Amino acid sequence: MVHQMNNNIKESILKHDRMVPRYTSYPTAPHFKSGATQDWYRKELEKIPARSPISLYVHVPFCSQLCWFCGCHTRVTSRYSAVGDYTDWLLQELSMLVPILAPKRLEVRYLHFGGGSPTMLRPSDFRRIVSRLRKIGDFTRDDLGVSVEIDPRAASADKLSAYQKCGVNRASLGVQDFNQQVMNAVNRSQDYDTCKRATDMCRAHGINNVNIDLMYGLPYQTRDSIRKTAEQALTLEPQRISLFGYAHVPWMKKHMRLIQEDALPSVEDRLDLFEDAAEVFENAGYVPIGIDHFCKESDNLVTALRSNCLSRNFQGYTDDNCPYLLAVGASGISRLGDVYVQNYVHLPPYRDRVLSGQFPFDKYCEMTESDKIRARVIEKMMCNLSVNPLGEAAGMGIPDHDFSGVYESIMPLVRDGLAQISSDGTVHALARQSARLICASFDQYLPHSSEARHVTSS
């Protein structure tokens, strides 16, 4: 159903382009609120049924160097003592969770280390964290997915050995681009050989599922340069490739002011950059997933897509359908059934809560009935690029949910060839770039948001 980019579609996307969320959750994090008590959070944890499937996420908010494109919650440090102290706080947070969750014998299906850069952790501290995590639930599933984000510059044999021994079976390498002018312009000194060495090291340690993270919309990128980067990425034979759009939000991330703005591609150029790289991947046999992923035919995400089981969470596209996601570490966001809980983003309050024996959460969101329906519809659109809102609501036992205003707001996209509405009410995105615009029509918080800006739709 998704059309290849042509001039008419391109003009329509440019006409409707605006700042909308990436929809890794709904409601989105800016709409979480403060005020929950420690007892409330403990009760939410206690509500998790015994033997439930659960995913775990560990956030490591440190990097050795600040990349100017970064939109993550991280801080730069050259002292390992800061990382070591954080490891101790993280272990303390886990120690508070173990007595509540261990008796439930939860079935751990996924564990993901993100950041920042988890490669900042020394092997001994990585092992300590995994050892403590193993007290939370059962890690014995044969298909347990354990993944870690890797800074290629920091990959080493001792770290990869520790990952292997801790069960890591997937690595995501932060590549962004191979063009040195582009990389120098965003303060990241990293070349192809560094990435190749890291990839080879992963496979030498039995971590054969290697993902490559690329970015378009960076300064000095051209259509020729991004095609070359895409072709170089293929030589690393990744299982998955993500092609994220750089979101220039200097009002949110002050370090982005260091990027030379007149070197950034225009909105129109960004569309060309994405399409050129996507064409390289699809011509090589990679299957497009959602709005920005490309996978080998054999990958689990392709199976999930074709069986209508693809999901989306804070780590992006996944075949993880666990009803519970427990995130630990500063800024981590958990989903406990129909409740979101976010830890303190900044380290001082996170540290202070943990050291005082309190759970370090800051904000939360209890989903309403309408939130649950809209979250389901938005996720389906982001994953499948089509959704039947009425069918999804009926499947949740609410067949009379009113979407009339939403359909009306989608009509401008329909008139301009970016969306289609079938006779049964199914909404189709006719371009990958229109999926988030359609999702925004279902977002009942967006028009009333106190935030004036979000990340761009393209």
In tens, the pLDDT along 273-324 reads 999 999 999 999 999 999 999 999 999 999 999 999 999 998 889 999 999 9
Mean pLDDT (whole number) for 124-137 = 98
Q: Where are the domains of the chain?
A: 1-27+368-458, 29-328
The span from the CA of 431 to the CA of 7, in Å, is: 12
For residue 452, what pLDDT is reported? 39
The span from the CA of 268 to the CA of 13, in Å, is: 9
CATH class label, 29-328: alpha beta
For residue 398, what pLDDT is reported? 86
Per this entry, what is the length of the chain? 458
The span from the CA of 64 to the CA of 153, in Å, is: 10
Q: Confidence class of residue 4 from pLDDT cuts 50, 70 and 90? A: low
Mean pLDDT (whole number) for 441-449 = 79
For residue 38, what pLDDT is reported? 98
Mean pLDDT (whole number) for 108-137 = 97
Q: Confidence class of residue 6 from pLDDT cuts 50, 70 and 90? A: confident
What is the pTM assigned to this prediction? 0.94
What digits encode the pLDDT tens for the residues 27-81?
999 999 999 999 999 999 999 999 999 999 999 999 999 999 998 889 999 999 9
Eight-class DSSP state of 356: T
Q: Does domain 1-27+368-458 have CATH number 1.10.10.920?
A: yes
Q: What is the average pLDDT value for the chain, to the nearest integer? A: 94
Tokens 């996944």 map to which residue?
A: 318
Contact by Cβ (8 Å): 394, 402: no
